[in-house]
Amino acid sequence: MLRDTSAQEANTNVDLLFIGAGPVGLFGAYYAGFRGLSMAVVDALPEVGGQVQAIYPEKKIYDIAGLPGVPGQELIGNLVRQAAPFSPLYLLSQQVQRLERRDGGWRATTSAGVVVDARAVVITSGVGAVTPRPIPAGEDFLGRGLCYFVPRLEVLDDKDVVVVGGGDSAVDWALAALPRARSTTLVHRRRQFRAHEHSVQLLHRSACTVLVDANVTELRGQDRVESVAIKVAGEAEVRETKAQVVVAALGFLMDLGPIKDWGLELEGRAIRVDSRMRTNLPEVFAAGDAATFDGKVKLIAVGFGEVATAVNNAAVALDPQAGLAPGHSSDLTLPAQVGA
């Protein structure tokens, strides 16, 4: 997977600046190249892929057209290869701190001191900076058996796994652990789950021990987690369950960061856009989870269409003589490194 490198440009000029290197930003980089535009992509994470790569690289994604089921890491790798012929400039491990109007374009200054002058900007930052909600008990075991997501499923192999939470991530991690772990327990503080109903049904029909109306009160062990204490409502005694891996899937705290200070029209944590994916600022577009409009549906598949719409409209904004319709990709010959 493409990662940050030490050799990054101090200053650069591009047609389009993408703020966010998740799936939508990566597809946007491809589409910018397809339209003959140069581009840079900035992301605060040290590698591309956004939450898909950082949080669930080995989990399968099932709702992308033409892909019956694709692991997140494979999807990101394919998107990187798709954009590669157009040589995107990736500026990783840095956040855009300032966005200022300059001479008909925009100047972005990152936390690493890199200055990017762009003729137009496409914000594909998702919901912004994401940090896991901490587990109330045992935070000092983080990295020593406690984790907030599972970047590699093999860490679950032949382990006693306890998953804490009741949303989609918690249920998905429990289901992913079942064929690999020695034992799997899911602990949820409520009786009702927030996860997809089909996944919850699979969970209840599985060999997973499901404890509802329950809380993990303590993580126990010496150098690493060895067991957890669980208080179940209506039970006098606190249960002790063996665990070498505890996955705390309690959701995430989200922060737009500097984006909220750029004068954009916001609606909650999203940027209001029109049908062309334009924001209230000239030549600034938004797509994916970063954008909102009436009837918005937050799906990666929808984000792909939104960023293509944004890039095609940006191409016309930068050159009124350019056609909005991009033409058929099958009619074009891409640079030789395509598919490399």
Torsion of CA 325, 331, 336, 340, to 10 degrees: 80
Selection from 125, 102, 163 nearest residue 41 by Cα:
125
Tokens of 201: 């049904």
Q: Do residues 330 and 51 lie in contact, with contact meaning Cβ atoms separated by under 8 Å? A: no
Q: How far apart are CA 197 and CA 205, in angstroms?
A: 12
Q: How far apart are CA 182 and CA 151, in angstroms?
A: 19
8 annotated among ligand-binding-site residues: no
What is the number of other CB atoms lying within 10 angstroms of the CB of residue 73?
18
- Which residue's entry shows tokens 């990054």? 8
Cα–Cα distances (Å) from 140 to 37, 92, 231, in that order, read 48, 29, 20
- Which residue's entry shows tokens 């030789």? 336
Q: What angle do CA 114, 117, 123 make, to 5 degrees?
A: 85
- Does residue 292 sit in helix, strand or coil? strand
90 annotated among ligand-binding-site residues: no
56 annotated among ligand-binding-site residues: yes
172 annotated among ligand-binding-site residues: no
157 annotated among ligand-binding-site residues: no
53 annotated among ligand-binding-site residues: no
Q: Do residues 197 and 173 lie in contact, with contact meaning Cβ atoms separated by under 8 Å? A: no
- Residue positions forming the annotated binding site: 43, 51, 56, 96, 289, 330
- Residue positions forming the annotated binding site for FAD: 43, 51, 56, 96, 289, 330
